[in-house]
A and B are shown apart, each in its own frame.
Chain A
């Protein structure tokens, strides 16, 4: 297709505003899928995504649309992950487009994720087509939604298209607007092939299937290509598009979107945002590339130690598909052999854990998540270390300062909850930058909050404090110096590594006390007193004790039934073997798990 008849676009929306429903409508209306093939929510393929209603990753779809002007256009819908953890992926997907449909729920109005997504789209200079969805709802308020578009997002209200994805209202107008308003792709003017790798997934037979957008030149089977950032060369085996099932094409030309296979063995070889060029005549890199780095780390351990190898294999499989997931072996005194894992964010972490559990059937336990701290060492050279694991935090005497990653968090909530939200932000060591009135009933709070603080329950707390009416999203901001300390939990003076964490000094004692109390409940009594302490540096900040048994004998031994008694003793002995011994204290792994779960 000639570039003048190609339109590349994404759909961006706050969760539940109708992105998936509208995508399905567009596929249907353009005849890309027949009604009988339509299962609800065509593009959300993973169970997990359907359950959570979040599209983590859907492949691009090519639709053919005959416009009112009589001409046929190739419309490429490039999905974006709907969560801030995947901001970089979103930005790469958006980079493959010239335009974006911005969906706003007519009844809900602009929400936090709407704002974050629009910021990203604007950074990419995309043409934004606002769609006010769900106008069929009785409490739909179109004028209000339009006002918010103007006031909050500076998008001209008259450009908005009222629609109902559910009822099929406004679909025609949306398709026409895509044709009319989204600019056609323009060649970059480079000497040869320039294509953006904006996503990839793994196929057992074909290897990595890379999602590409051709910016310049053409991509076809048999070409020798080079990935500029990874520096690797491959021979292209196959190119094609999705409708939404993959179909092979002779080539992908300027402005076209689809996939490529090239015998690539692991997803990690294809860096998100890499530039694909002709290996013999390389063109320059496309703008916007970044290396992705995990933002959140946590230990993942098999509950059954015998599952270690199995877990390792499954993590490798998972990584084939998810290059943003990083892992390396680590051991814990408490939990045995496991892995230190890196994730893009909290949702990504939950997704990986859920997939290990559900898709791979693994029984796992995760340790308290940590962000990456920047530690400046004392001494002349002031070396800076990145620390994502409390175990590797250098001794305080060698630390000049610790910095922690911050995020800009937007909270949108009804006016009556402003006080609660401000209290929550300050509890999370955040600061309120400014507030913005959205409409007579709602405000948006702009805050700066440490990433480490929003990991645990920030979002849930907002939801529960506002009875579901509040929403939150964030973007990464800079590092900020902070009074962080290492909190250790000790049992009879030995540290229990699984419970060490890096926390802010003001929170260390409270957390230490809470952990000590929980541990006290689960650590079984021993034949001696067990001391459980929380320590910051060498200083004990909380202490509990488990009293000693005074006896361990069932006083009567029934006459001849030695077998029965022996079996009881054997069971007891077996049980002890499965325990971890820390500071001479036998602790069942289940006890650690119990505490980590809470």
Chain B
């Protein structure tokens, strides 16, 4: 059904729905699980890759979760060998998410050998009490050790995830964490405010009034984040993403993104296509968004029958799709170059969305030049409100 249309998809996401223990804030689809289900999942994922491989020529691959690093060596090997057999290796950027508690030298080496060239580490905090508060299984020490392990295995592109505005986190704690995190010397930093997702323990605690949200503090932490990362040589290229730039000679402003920006995520924000495999994974292929079942059992059963495990499909009208692409692209500091938008969506941002752009410029939330439209420093703080107006 996919064969007949257009070039193959160059971006691949794979979801690993297992964690050693569920974190207090987490609403991703993942569960603490036994070895048996994990093996069954690996077999199903292999099957799903086989079904989709003909439509893939990955330039970016991202293993997310859950906790991909929770898979043992044998399981990883099975997955990677399958990818090899199906010609899915060799991506320009191949990321695996790791929990600092589950990084080992062996695993790092295996990943490295199969072409994984980027690791995203879920650090979240470097304060023991807060790590505990969040229900994270790792300690401060594990973060530093894992980082060294990864470097030793040859990973020269590592991302560190940090959270701020965690209940109980003071400005002082945040600053300490950020200082230590920056001193690790990672190439990429992803940092975001705690989100209270329904059906999480943290949300329930908030509802029960166990703590309250301090918006001013969260804003101050965010400002601090931007100032400190910038001072440390990072370039913010999206609301929550910062990367170093290794290209020495060319000027950043003409390239839109620092060289260590995450290619895989850029593709999402730019409205690019991707296949999503694994339970709960979403895909976006030739204008159709799909979502796999968020149930590992069901996912496995479907694939054991040789069928994909798609729960829902959604295809928007071309203009709605373009509006969505516009909205998400604005999360990036570079905004939307009009030519790129036209190329991606077939629509001119200056047509349908002209009034929306003017409105935002008037509020001081955006700037518009002959080449591009982008949110200002102020506007990025209201990116949701700004994005909303572009939806159709």
Contacts and interface: CB of A to CB of B under 8 A. Distances in A.
Contact of A549 (B215, B324, B327): B215
B382 A557 contact: no
A573 B385 CA distance: 8
B274 A569 contact: no
B192 interface: yes
A562 B385 contact: no
A560 interface: yes
B380 A553 contact: yes
Contact of B314 (A550, A563, A572): A563
A565 B284 CA distance: 14
A555 interface: yes
Contacts of A559: 13, 62, 64, 264-265, 268
Given A554-B195, A556-B192, A573-B391, A562 B268 contact: yes
A550 B381 contact: yes
B388 A569 contact: yes
B383 interface: yes
Q: How large is the interface on A (under 10, 10 to 19, 20 to 34, 35 or more residues)?
A: 20 to 34
B391 A569 contact: yes
Leading 8 A-B pairs by shortest Cβ distance: A555-B192, A556-B192, A551-B381, A550-B219, A553-B383, A560-B282, A555-B193, A573-B388
A173 B52 CA distance: 99
Interface in A537-565: 549-563, 565
A148 B385 CA distance: 72
B203 interface: no
A167 interface: no
A309 interface: no
Interface string A185-214: 000000000000000000000000000000
The winner among A558, A566, A570 for most chain B CB atoms within 10 A is A566
Interface of B: 13, 28, 62, 64, 191-193, 195, 215-216, 218-219, 222, 239-240, 264-265, 268-269, 274, 276, 281-284, 289, 291, 314, 324, 327-328, 331, 363, 380-385, 387-389, 391
B215 to A, nearest CB: 6
A572 B391 CA distance: 11
B23 to A, nearest CB: 14
Contacts of A573: 388-389, 391
A527 interface: yes
Contacts of B191: 555
Given A549-B215, A554-B193, 16 more contacts: A550-B219, A552-B381, A552-B382, A553-B381, A554-B384, A555-B193, A555-B195, A556-B192, A557-B240, A559-B64, A560-B13, A562-B268, A566-B324, A566-B328, A573-B389, A573-B391
Given A554-B384, A555-B240, A560 B283 contact: yes
B384 A560 contact: no
A325 B293 CA distance: 59
Contacts of A555: 191-193, 195, 222, 239-240
Contacts of B391: 566, 569-570, 573
Contact of B215 (A551, A557, A565, A576): A551
B192 A562 contact: no
17 contacts: A527-B382, A527-B385, A550-B215, A550-B381, A551-B222, A552-B385, A553-B381, A556-B192, A557-B240, A559-B264, A559-B268, A560-B281, A560-B284, A562-B284, A566-B327, A566-B391, A569-B327
A552 to B, nearest CB: 5
A562 B328 contact: yes
Nearest to A556: B192
A569 B282 contact: no
Interface of A: 527, 549-563, 565-566, 569-570, 572-573, 576
A474 to B, nearest CB: 47
A127 B28 CA distance: 84
Nearest to A563: B289
A277 B276 CA distance: 87
Given A559-B265, A562-B268, A552 B240 contact: no
A47 to B, nearest CB: 39
Contacts of A550: 215-216, 219, 381
Contact of B218 (A551, A557, A561): A551
A33 B366 CA distance: 81
The winner among A555, A562, A572 for most chain B CB atoms within 10 A is A555
A570 B62 CA distance: 28
Nearest to B275: A560
A545 to B, nearest CB: 16
A570 B314 CA distance: 15
A114 B77 CA distance: 96
Given A550-B216, A550-B219, A553-B381, A569 B281 contact: no
Nearest to B265: A559
A556 B389 CA distance: 19
A140 B324 CA distance: 79
Given A562-B268, A563-B282, A563-B289, A556 B388 contact: no
A562 B289 contact: yes
A573 B323 CA distance: 13
Nearest to B161: A556
A327 to B, nearest CB: 39
Contacts of B239: 553, 555, 557
Contacts of B363: 527
Contacts of A554: 193, 195, 384
Contacts of A557: 239-240, 268-269, 328, 331
B381 A572 contact: no
Contacts of B274: 560
B313 to A, nearest CB: 10
B282 A561 contact: yes
B326 to A, nearest CB: 11
A573 B389 CA distance: 7
Nearest to A528: B363
A551 B219 contact: yes
Contacts of B282: 560-563
A45 B216 CA distance: 60
A513 B64 CA distance: 54
A573 B320 CA distance: 14
Contacts of A566: 324, 327-328, 391
Nearest to B331: A557
Contacts of B264: 559
A207 to B, nearest CB: 53
Nearest to B327: A569
Nearest to B324: A566
A558 to B, nearest CB: 8
B170 to A, nearest CB: 18
Contact of B384 (A553, A558, A562, A563): A553
A549 B28 CA distance: 28
A569 B193 contact: no
Nearest to A568: B384
Nearest to B316: A566
A554 B328 CA distance: 13
A253 B284 CA distance: 87
B289 A569 contact: no
Given A550-B219, A551-B222, A559-B13, A569 B195 contact: no
A138 to B, nearest CB: 52
Nearest to A573: B388
A572 to B, nearest CB: 6
A562 B268 CA distance: 8
A115 B239 CA distance: 75
B387 A551 contact: no
A560 B216 contact: no
Nearest to B164: A555
Nearest to A575: B388
A561 B29 CA distance: 12
Contacts of B64: 559
B380 A572 contact: no
The winner among B62, B216, B324, B388 for most chain A CB atoms within 10 A is B388
